Structure 1
Amino acid sequence: MMECQICFDTKIISSFSKITANCKHKLNICRSCVKNHITAQLDSKSVEDINCPVSGCKQKFQSDDVKKISKELFERFDGLMVCQTLSKLPEFRWCKNPKCNSGQLHLEGDDAPIITCQACGKKSCYTHDIPWHAGQTCTEYENNKNGNDEETQKFISKETKPCPRCNVRIIKNEGCDHMTCRMKNCNYEFCWLCFADHDKIRKHGNSFHKKSCKYYTTVTS
């Protein structure tokens, strides 16, 4: 029998196992608590930033580590990993149809800005990453941000937020509230809910979220 250092329940030895493949510390946290740790972290962090819960251990979870903990959790973890990897590709765009979870590479870029979703047929603008501004070229849209495309304006207001650094509006498709602007020469990381600078959060802890944000805590690292 062994006591878990998180829940303090005494459990049989088989309830404990190596947390990540590279962990070197004692096995003193049960799999149930490790699962809860990963679940909580997925709600607030990028999958690439989830560390082992043991104090002082900086090993990060890989897909195989999560798979050993829970098949259900692995499917969510792996899906978010794929989404975040795709989102980092400059030529990739998610479909702007809120009922469609598809996305695709658009290698033509700004030279051919109209993207037609291969899954649902919805048209969107590669350059502005919004539903296609029907009746307007990209230049006309830039010159008339309050244009007469009611559908586009409604989507922009409801589904997008401006990057705190470059002010280009971006959409959150899936996953955690840790956002990264994909505009060239920006790449600013921030909290989707309160716009806090994620570089400060990463270095100093969740006290750098705004107090109104659900991730705010008074504890710093």
Structure 2
Amino acid sequence: MQFLEEEAQEEQFLEITHEEEKGFECGICMDDLPVSDVAIVDYCDHALCRDCLRNYVVTQIAERKFPIPCPLCAATKTKDGGSEWITENLIQILGIPEAQFAIFEEMQLVMYSVPVRCPGCRRSVNIDRQEYEENAILACPLPGCNYGWCKNCQQAIVQNGPRHSCDGTNELDHLMTQQGWKRCPRCKTPIQKTSGCNHMTCRVPGCNTEFCYVCGHTPCQCGRRI
């Protein structure tokens, strides 16, 4: 039994050694290299040597190109006309210099987020690009802020307030309802009664409509004296 186990271990060792001895041809320099030097691009599975791919990635970053396409896909143009991209995980495996990796992260951040300045706390923050494009109302995600504003008109959003409108229509309607204000039945100008009877006269030039402040009609239809 021990002899069989030792024989199996020896076969496994020989198999591993054989795999390590197998090489591959780099798609850029065309050299035959050991598999320990291989870097495989995700999705397209193109095999390149790490030195070639590292130099290529560093050059692409220096030229501020993002996302970084697979060099073989870009050269041969895949059937759909596109290219597979070099992922962040692969770039980390390649071990590019820290300065270049910092630039890569910055470009990646710009690709998927939008930098904005919160009008509330006056600090800059990056917001997810999809969220920014799909929503008109933004909320500052920074701790201790929670300020909300409209990205179109930059007005503040009142918590638990009326539905926002850039021209203030909804906010004014909400305020009029709270205060009991009325609108002129002709020109629709907001009118507030401060004292006196319910008989109102619109002071807007060219209007001068008379109406009942209670029911809004002329003559009064609510049965109250105006």
TM-score range, shorter chain: 0.3 to 0.5
Higher relative contact order (CA 8 A, sep 6+): 1
Of structures 1 and 2, the larger Rg is shown by 2
